[in-house]
């Protein structure tokens, strides 16, 4: 895995900070919930330490998110990276993303310079992108084309509901 501490642009850095913030919120929630379960276990007097299943079940994914965000100590990070890269799962390797992007570019005959910018923005904001209403895009397009042609944009007549007379 490659380090994510160097960023190509400001949007990538902003996306990383948002991911990091979300991770720290999850860790805080993890700690609070697990402390509650441990205290409950202690007060209940049970012999079997059942909170271990919550700790392991929730902690394992958090650990892998920490590996992905590159926030662990370097020795742990190197060990985890070598383990993940040695697994027979190609999508865990960093070059897999590049290979997939190249395949997409070749299939669609897209120039990598133009599409990489769009793809980077999409990937950087994958969790925060809000789709604009299609009608808003059409209105802007019509207005922009009207300005370029120096033609007044067409006004759409709105249909008002006419009150119907009651039948006698």
* Cβ pair 142, 154 in contact under 8 A: yes
| C-alpha–C-alpha distance, residues 17 and 124, integer Å | 11
The three-point CA angle 57-63-64 to 5° equals 100
pLDDT tens-place string over residues 127-164: 444 444 444 444 444 444 444 444 455 555 555 555 56
Max Cα distance, the chain (Å): 88
| C-alpha–C-alpha distance, residues 29 and 33, integer Å | 6
- Choose between 119 and 121: higher pLDDT: 119
pLDDT tens-place string over residues 55-71: 999 999 999 899 888 88
* Cβ pair 153, 143 in contact under 8 A: yes
């Amino acid at each position: 895995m490659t380090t994510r501490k160097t960023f190509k642009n400001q949007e990538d850095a902003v996306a990383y900070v948002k991911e990091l913030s979300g991770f720290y919120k999850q860790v805080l929630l993890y700690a609070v919930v697990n402390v509650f379960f441990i205290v409950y276990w202690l007060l209940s007097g049970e012999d079997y330490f059942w909170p271990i299943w919550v700790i392991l079940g929730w902690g394992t994914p958090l650990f892998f998110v920490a590996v992905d965000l590159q926030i662990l100590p370097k020795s742990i990070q190197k060990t985890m990276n070598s383990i993940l890269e040695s697994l027979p799962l190609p999508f865990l390797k960093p070059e897999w993303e590049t290979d997939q992007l190249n395949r997409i570019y070749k299939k669609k005959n897209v120039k990598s310079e133009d599409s990489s910018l769009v793809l980077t923005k999409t990937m950087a904001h994958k969790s925060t992108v809000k789709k604009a209403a299609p009608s808003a895009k059409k209105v802007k397009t019509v207005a922009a084309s009207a300005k370029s042609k120096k033609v007044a944009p067409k006004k759409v007549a709105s249909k008002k509901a006419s009150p119907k007379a009651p039948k006698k």
